[in-house]
Amino acid sequence: MVDIKNRRHFLKRTKYEELRPSLLYIGSKVTVFGRQLKLIEYGDDFTRNSIESQTERTLAMIKPDAFKNMGKIINAISQSGFLISKLRVAKLSKQEAQEFYAVHRGKPFYDGLTDFMSSGRICALELVAPGAIRKWRELIGPTDSNQARAEAPGSLRAQFGTDKTYNACHGSDAPDTAAEEVAFFFGPGRYPGKCDLARGTTLCLVKPHLVADGVAGLVVDMVQDAFDVTAGQLFTLERNAAAEFYEVYKGVLPAGEFNAMVDHLTSGPVLALEVADRSGADAVEAFRQLAGPLDPELARVLRPESLRARFGLNNVQNGVHCTDLVEDGVLEVNYFFTILASS
């Protein structure tokens, strides 16, 4: 690795097992020996030709009728070999839905489609994989959910769709369309369908080791079984942001453990969720019960059905972060979905 500006080597050729080949695509952020790097261009044509065909991108969307099954669908995506490079929960306005589906303007189903797509929360994702466009359309199945149940019973539309409009998922149909649709949700300065943050909510962070292992969907599914997810986004944190977020633990935890927590939170993408109690009560304490004790070993004894008991490895890689104090719920939610999301 060469520092071009200063004309010196930053890193000699060495083995680094923590860096997965699937993360090597333009726009990806990777951490190498504690240094966060953004991949902005290929070094040469050979590298471009070798990697580009393996990192096709497409836009996937979980529609309002299937949003309650978001965790199951995210898990199916991960288990099918896709890398989720971007993710955001949104609530489209009617005008935004019309803009996204402008290609269908004037068709008989246009008004009904845009009414439906602005009727509730959706989840937009950028997926990366070899042949991602074709692969995702095969996974979701035929447009008509009834046809999907007959022809592709294992597809997502067969499992979670109802008919031709309420059909659970959307998928780009060509490279040009994919680029346009990804830019609609994730382009510079774009933030369509920004969710209004609610009162009495709490923050759940699905930590990088679970995102990297492709099990974040299982966590989301457990959360959705008991709570409503009212906002969500995939973040890659810089070290100063992670240290600021964890500042309350500084001086409380041993310095080594605090630094390890910051290191882990910046080691890869983290999935942030705003979580609400369906009863309208404050969600902080109820969600802490679902998260379980900080130490996964203790969680497996005291709360074996908790998230940390099921997914935690140790005190640092313990599956999820949850808000500890009721008064901090709004602060932590706003830190991610107002401060970091707009930075």
Which positions are annotated as active-site residues?
170, 321
SS (HEC) of 125-167: EEEEECCHHHHHHHHHCCCCHHHHHHHCCCCHHHHHCCCCCCC
What letter would DSSP give residue 275? E
What letter would DSSP give residue 42? -
SS (HEC) of 164-232: CCCCCEEECCCHHHHHHHHHHHHCCCCCCCCCCCCCCCEEEEECHHHHHCCCHHHHHHHHHHHCEEEEE
Distance between CA atoms of residues 156 and 140, nearest Å: 5
Q: Are 199 and 330 in contact (CB under 8 A)?
A: yes
- Where residue 131 falls (left for φ over 0; alpha for ψ -120 to 50; beta otherwise) is left
Distance between CA atoms of residues 310 and 221, nearest Å: 13
63 is in an annotated binding site: yes
Q: Are 171 and 179 in contact (CB under 8 A)?
A: no
109 is in an annotated binding site: yes
Assigned token pair, 36: 């966060």
Residue owning tokens 């932590």: 332
- Where residue 319 falls (left for φ over 0; alpha for ψ -120 to 50; beta otherwise) is left
Cα maximum dimension of the chain: 64
311 is in an annotated binding site: no
Distance between CA atoms of residues 94 and 113, nearest Å: 10
Could you give the 3-state DSSP secondary structure of residue 123? Answer: strand
202 is in an annotated binding site: no
Assigned token pair, 59: 């836009």
338 is in an annotated binding site: no
Q: Annotated binding residues, as ranges?
A: 63, 109, 137, 143, 157, 167
Q: Annotated binding residues for ATP, as ranges?
A: 63, 109, 137, 143, 157, 167
